[in-house]
Amino acid sequence: MAIYFEEPSRTFNEYLLVPGYTSNHHIPENVTLATPLTKYRRGEEQPAISLQIPMISAIMQAVSDDNMAIALAREGGMSFIYGSQTIEDQAAMVARVKDYKAGFVTSDANLSPEMTLKDVIALRDTLGHSTMPVTEGGRAHGKLLGIVTSRDYRLSRMDTTEKVSSFMTPVEKMIVAPADTTLKTANDIIWEHKLNSLPVVDDQGCLLYLVFRKDYDSHKSNPQELLDTHKRYMVGAGINTRDYAQRVPALVEAGADVLCIDSSEGYSDWQKFTLQWIREHYGNTVKVGAGNVVDAEGFRFLADAGADFIKIGIGGGSICITREQKGIGRGQATATIEVARARDEYFKETGVYIPLCSDGGIVYDHHITLALAMGADFVMLGRYFARFDESPTNRVNVNGSYMKEYWGEGSARARNWQRYDLGGDKKGMTFEEGVDSYVPYAGSLHDNVAVTLAKVKSTMCNCGAVSIPELQEKAKLTVISSTSIIEGGAHDVVLKDKSNYGSSSI
């Protein structure tokens, strides 16, 4: 006979935290958000990898490339580079994160001298910044010919057909630095010559990096950075249950710090086989998460199979239509609560604490706090990060508003048939489980994460907690009625500025 879960399947929106006692010790400055990423014997040892903030970015083409990984590691979180690409391309992204020299930026678009002012304006609007190097043929590592900044052109005085070569600052008039320049020296040069940016070139004069004045400052003000023992940024990578024998060695070789099996449904033999293969070939030296699951049985299966962390969530992602298409899934709050109970039982039995990740369905900043209070150790976010400058997609103007594109890994666009496999060849994916969409452009990752975490810390203080484990222990949660949801927003008043309202939805 079929099993019925009598408890309705609830979402984060149906819960609130009831405040606890706040002492004068419970202030945001005292809150630490450090949290374990991989399993460990709690009380006896430290986890091999911990995050400084409880946020990781989704294993998705529209979210997690090397650029995102660097920006998020700088804040203390971690990206999992998407696996729906060739092994070589994914390994190259991982390697770029590991090779990244803080403060040295690889230019994301170069101009060629033949381009026009019109091209410059279009590129500036897409990229969101106005300093662009000019190289031979516009190539990424081409010979440096000059630079264009907002000071080099005036739209009111110039024709948009004017060629870049006629208004750029030519390389002869620029200060450039050689390849072996340290960040300290670069900053001294920037300071001494009152520059905003300094190009670094090789001995052929080809462009390697740009060092920006503001980057050096921000580097200095990021004490939370997530670094490995060689002081390189940490990065994760998604894998699938098909080509692991080739993909895992390439990713390990490239320097990935942790892997995660990326699947919409993780309670399967395919995940067990993948974990077994990794243990056989690497023992415990390669850390790997698994998922996704939404109940105690699924958790126990992946815990016994050897997962280092376990991801929760089926069908709750903003771009995900798995529930509509296949009728499987569970409300994200209910799933998190049940899996966390199973994890705590497992810990009592074995002494091993397996960190949990609540993946998908975070719509408001406070949903992060709810997920943590319910027992998650960190959350995975897709839509949230897709909106930022650092995500892999271009900013586009849609009816006068800036947007970023965001599509599901199960959409035809991602053609990620591996993620939805049940073994066998699924190249001919017959139906989609994700949509292709826009999300409102929201600016820089740094600024947005700061606001989000300020809210998380503030709520933790209201609950009398200065750490995530303390929050999990002390949290008091209440289910709310639909009318109390209305009561929780601005109501029964005439808003002066509707455009600002709802901005708390992230």
Q: Which candidate in 387, 419, 461, 463 is catalytic?
A: 419
54/103 Cα distance (integer angstroms): 24
Considering the rule CB under 6 A, would residue 60 count as an interface residue with ligand RVP?
yes
Residue in 260, 320, 357, 463 annotated catalytic: 320
Q: Which of residues 403-422 bind ligand RVP (CB under 6 A)?
A: 408-411
Residue 280 to residues 47, 274, 320, Cα–Cα distance (Å)? 21, 10, 34
Q: What is the x/- site pattern for ligand RVP, positions 418-457, by CB under 6 A?
A: ---------------xx-----------------------
Q: How far is the CB of 16 from ligand RVP (least distance, A)?
A: 20
User: 305: part of which helix (H) or strand (E)?
Assistant: helix 296-305
One character per residue 311-330, x = contact with ligand RVP (rule: CB under 6 A): --x---xxxx-x--------
419 an active-site residue?
yes
* 383: contact with ligand RVP by CB under 6 A: yes
Rounded to whole angstroms, the Cα distance separating 350 from 359 reads: 25
DSSP, res 401: E
Query: Closer CB to ligand RVP, residue 62 or residue 148?
Result: 62
- Cβ nearer to ligand RVP, comparing 103 with 291: 291
Determine if 392 is a binding residue for ligand RVP (CB under 6 A).
Answer: no
Question: Which residue's Cβ lies closest to ligand RVP?
Answer: 434
Of the candidate spans 211-219, 356-364, 395-403, 441-449, the one that interacts with ligand RVP by CB under 6 A turns out to be 356-364
Closest listed residue to residue 144, CA positions, set 116, 120, 178, 119 = 178
230's CB contacts (< 8 A; 6+ apart) are: none
Contact 220, 66 (CB under 8 A): no
Taking the complex as a whole, how short is the minimal distance between the CB of residue 315 and ligand RVP, in angstroms? 8
Query: What 8-state DSSP symbol labels residue 142?
Result: P
Bridge partners (DSSP) listed for residue 207? 201
Cα-to-chain-centroid distance, residue 439: 15
CA 370 and chain centroid, separation:
19
Taking CB under 6 A as the binding criterion, the range among 5-13, 42-50, 155-163, 355-363 that sits at the site for ligand RVP is 355-363
Q: Name the H helices within 104-163.
A: 117-127
Q: Please state the closest distance from residue 384 (CB atom) to ligand RVP, in A.
A: 6
Specify the residue, 289 or 317, whose C-beta has the smaller distance to ligand RVP.
317
Please say which residue, 77 or 313, places its beta carbon nearer to ligand RVP.
313
Q: How many residues does the chain have?
A: 506
| Residue closer to ligand RVP, measured from CB, 145 or 403 | 403
- Residue 320 a catalytic site member: yes
Cα separation, 135 vs 157, in Å, equals: 25
Binding residue for ligand RVP, selected from 70, 251, 278, 362, defined by CB under 6 A: 362
Beta sheet of 104-105, edge-to-edge order? 104-105, 207-212, 197-201, 177-178
Of 229 and 503, the one with the shorter C-beta distance to ligand RVP is 503
Q: Provide, rounded to whole angstroms, the least separation between the CB of residue 338 and ligand RVP.
A: 18
What DSSP string runs through 455-500? HHHHHHHHTT-SSHHHHHHH--EEE--HHHHHHHS--SS--S-TTT
Q: Which residues bind ligand RVP (CB under 6 A)?
A: 58, 60, 313, 317-320, 322, 359-362, 380-384, 408-411, 433-434
Residues with a catalytic annotation lie at 320, 419
